[in-house]
Chains A and B, each alone.
Chain A
């Protein structure tokens, strides 16, 4: 208890503030990020499930086996069958090729349907969120079907043999967001009406979906059932998991999560540096106290035990406070991103709390204990003689302890070797550069300063005289600046990458199947509405008939729909933007004069079809046969919302076949009826609508971005703390020197001027060195973590020194104001 009493008194005396805040911040950063990451993880799973409207889905081109449903009932797993197909719907003389979706009672198993009786409204108070579909005999339709068929809610539309009463308009389906949107206006109907409608006949192009979700049997029962389903799958069935449901959102979320991780790691390192500096400063202030204790006969082992116990109390107290602050931060972060989190967000488990506590204790072990370790060996003679001072544990050993603590924390916490290495390497490079280049800069400053005015001369010689302190301060400053710049760069490149999703005018509709004679008319309609397309692309419909001279087998047809149906073939002279060759050569390196046409395939599709470079494909286009050989494969960027093609040919080969055209464009909600006008005037044109899913992605991404901003603020406060710790290192010495200078008659202006020059010069040097470290670390992080191409960041080299000079200069002068405020006598009395 004596140790605790001593600790509380030291705290009251104000000597512990920096250590405690560094510790609290380290623990708070880690705890808040861990809590957030874990809760987002859980939220993400729920969100992905809602994109599927289920926990798991089997998509098939065949009817769902009734045995699956029976087995599910036995195993108490929830299921719902969903069929989608295109069919004509009529109202009197009007008709429309609608996208029909028949859903079994129970749909959606996850997520919510949004419907309204006020068509085209965006007023959320008029929109209902429900977890069931239409009853038998009813149809819920896309609002734009009403003007298309010239009907109102309550009218009955004809579908095959039956009529359905239109009672609601559908605003959003949870599972509308596949890679492709719907062609034609949606008509949602009950599964039980299908038989009487008689629209499904053998040979109809229908997609069957079997939705499954955990039921009364719990997670284990569901896992059993999904394993059984997996064993039942045949070549025409495909299992879809929540992860695959919405790739672009999942990517943004995943990158957001990784950014949080990076931010958390940077925060830990920053708080660690602050803690190391604060502990060093604290230990320096304790040597006299230890000498005094020992002069009273307190043994070295007792002194050690007293300080160890104090450290332990400090660790426990600081960590507990950190956990609390961290929880508060996570609540704020969650408040910011609340929109896209499910309402019943599950609480985080124990792990974040354990991580936070371990961080506190490890930081203390890695940074504070090594700084205090030498204290018990202080000679009691120091009470009589100032020159008898014990040497602290060498800075190399302390550095190694610190690095070991940070490395183990980073690894445990991020579970990512590359990230940990990049941060450590960035920091090590900065620290090394600081020591080597920093010393050279200080020396140059001293030599050059001799030729300048008194303020500069004194400041430069002070920096040189205190060179070991100056270097430690520089390591602190440059480490903080480098880590903050790393954050800024990564944040900026992520947001840049997401820009299309955030951009208000990203294309949200595709127009396809535009015949050559319709092209001018469609173009005019679009430009009359002042809308911009992403350019027009020609397209020929063709079918694969043979691979390497062999007819397509039944087995192949079952395995992939591309073998069953017509494909979109297009052409380009140059490799389109966003495409990247993954194998083979582009046209410019090929001999195009042969009889066999070269073709470039999208690489994932090539893999699924079992095609490789050199394989020969026979195409049939409107009955005309031609041969092609795979000469390259490409990866595509699906995120940019411009037309992409699986099969590309050189220009000049396909133009003579019957062709159609396609484009993508942004249609704002208030001009949405253009789609109807287009379809009425050009009934064969198909419109793929992606506006709803894009809107949803945009909301999520902007929430994630706000979350990142909050996190950046938190990290910034860690950086400022490091700077404070570094500035306070030399404060007592500065106080004494200034007091002597003032006693000798120097003006306040001169003294503050010296402080300003010293800190600004330190800051500029540190900023410059930080740029080196930041550029190195960013290169690694972008390459290995975010898969972004390497790019230099010229602004870093300007911003580093500028921000360093301004920040450190201002902070230093602000902090050292008391140097001129405190009466010199008071200062000298305490020497």
Chain B
């Protein structure tokens, strides 16, 4: 499902070349889950961005569903993302002018789904927000906003879900609930899950863990 071979990422700054990621390798089968952990600045989010096709590595290759996305142009990667990828972000990224229902429906509408609103309502029900469909993000709590974001991610039926610190902005209790939701849905929908987190509890629930330190892969393997 996800095949990563020898990817590195360097950026040029005024003070010279900075190496953000070095020689990362990874293989993740369909339906599996991976936690990328490490301290701040270790390159977790950069790696997530590259895996999801949002960014390109300086060298190495990434394949999603057997397609080498590092050999594609932005339009090609966009097509792959549209087909296979879903996201959950730390800061939710809900559009403030849209209701919960419209936020979930928007990506479906953009894909031309005629039943976008029904599908969105169904997934809002799945995350327990059937009573809040017409609320705007500002009328929802942080936990509720993230639940809308989770519903939006699953509503597009992605085969791979990328989550960037999905509970980083939430208190522990709320975070736990979101995690449960994420894993439950992941299991039910058969999605492959890649998440970046600081939290050991969350990392422990994933099938695989990758620890990064200063851009290097420290450990890789199945959860204990």
Contact = CB atoms under 8 A, between A and B. Distances in A.
B83 interface: yes
A14 B79 CA distance: 32
Nearest to B83: A297
Given A2-B109, A14-B97, A15-B97, A381 B55 contact: yes
A298 B89 contact: no
B96 A13 contact: yes
B97 A12 contact: yes
Interface string B105-123: 0010110000000000000
A20 to B, nearest CB: 14
Interface residues of A, number: 30
Contact of B93 (A2, A5, A292): A292
Contacts of B87: 295-296, 383
A694 B12 CA distance: 81
Nearest to A293: B110
A385 B98 contact: no
B19 interface: no
Contacts of B164: 384
A379 B54 contact: yes
A384 B97 contact: no
B110 A2 contact: yes
A289 B95 contact: yes
Contacts of B79: 297, 299
Nearest to A2: B109
A10 B156 contact: no
B213 interface: no
Most buried by B among A289, A295, A384, A385: A384
Interface in A5-42: 5, 9-10, 12-15
A288 B93 contact: yes
A686 to B, nearest CB: 79
B49 interface: yes
Given A9-B102, A14-B97, A385 B49 contact: yes
Contacts of B81: 295-297, 380
B74 A13 contact: no
A295 B98 contact: no
A9 B103 CA distance: 11
Contacts of A15: 97
Given A295-B81, A300-B74, A10 B97 contact: yes
Contacts of B89: 383-384
Interface in B63-85: 74-75, 78-83, 85
Interface in A277-317: 288-289, 292-302
Nearest to B164: A384
Nearest to A10: B97
A297 B86 CA distance: 10
A299 B55 CA distance: 15
A826 B142 CA distance: 11
A749 interface: no
Contact of A298 (B52, B83, B93, B110): B110
A829 interface: yes
Label chain A's interface by main secondary structure: helix
Contact of B107 (A296, A300, A383): A296
Interface string A341-383: 0000000000000000000000000000000000000011101
A302 B98 CA distance: 20
A728 to B, nearest CB: 16
Nearest to B77: A297
Contacts of B133: none
B45 interface: yes
A289 B95 CA distance: 7
A476 to B, nearest CB: 25
B83 A381 contact: no
Nearest to B108: A296
Interface in B28-52: 45, 48-49, 52
B98 A9 contact: yes
Contacts of A296: 81-82, 87, 107, 110, 156
A826 B138 CA distance: 9
Contacts of B93: 288, 292, 383
Nearest to B82: A297
Given A9-B102, A297-B81, A381 B110 contact: no
A5 B97 contact: no
B109 A298 contact: no
A379 B55 CA distance: 8
A7 to B, nearest CB: 11
Given A384-B45, A384-B89, A13 B54 contact: no
Given A384-B164, A385-B49, A298 B102 contact: no
A293 B103 CA distance: 11
B48 A384 contact: yes
B82 A9 contact: no
Interface in A231-281: none
A75 to B, nearest CB: 68
Nearest to A15: B97
B54 A295 contact: yes
A10 B95 CA distance: 9
Contacts of A2: 109-110
Contacts of A9: 97-98, 102
Nearest to A6: B106
Nearest to B55: A381
Given A298-B78, A298-B82, A13 B97 contact: yes
Contacts of B109: 2, 5
A289 B107 CA distance: 12
A385 B107 contact: no
A653 B169 CA distance: 102
Given A296-B110, A300-B75, A383-B93, A13 B48 contact: no
A383 B196 CA distance: 14
Nearest to A288: B93
B73 to A, nearest CB: 10
Highest count of chain A CB atoms <10 Å: which of B81, B97, B102: B97
Given A13-B96, A294-B78, A300-B74, A383 B85 contact: no
A381 B164 CA distance: 12
A754 B95 CA distance: 31
A162 B218 CA distance: 129
Given A9-B102, A295-B87, A299-B75, A383 B54 contact: yes
B97 A297 contact: no
A184 B110 CA distance: 86
Nearest to B87: A295
A385 B97 contact: no
A10 B49 CA distance: 28
B198 to A, nearest CB: 15
A829 to B, nearest CB: 7
Contacts of B138: 826, 830
Contacts of B52: 295
A240 B135 CA distance: 74
A297 B54 contact: no
Contacts of A289: 95
Interface of A: 2, 5, 9-10, 12-15, 288-289, 292-302, 379-381, 383-385, 826, 829-830
26 contacts: A2-B109, A2-B110, A5-B109, A9-B97, A9-B102, A10-B97, A13-B97, A15-B97, A293-B110, A295-B87, A296-B81, A296-B110, A297-B79, A297-B83, A298-B82, A298-B110, A299-B74, A301-B75, A380-B81, A383-B54, A383-B87, A383-B93, A384-B45, A384-B48, A385-B45, A830-B96
Given A10-B97, A14-B97, A379-B54, 11 more contacts: A2-B109, A13-B95, A288-B93, A297-B81, A379-B55, A380-B54, A381-B49, A383-B54, A383-B87, A383-B89, A830-B138
Nearest 6 A-B pairs (CB), nearest first?
A13-B97, A297-B82, A297-B81, A381-B54, A296-B107, A299-B78
Interface of B: 45, 48-49, 52, 54-55, 74-75, 78-83, 85, 87, 89, 93, 95-98, 102, 107, 109-110, 138, 142, 156, 164
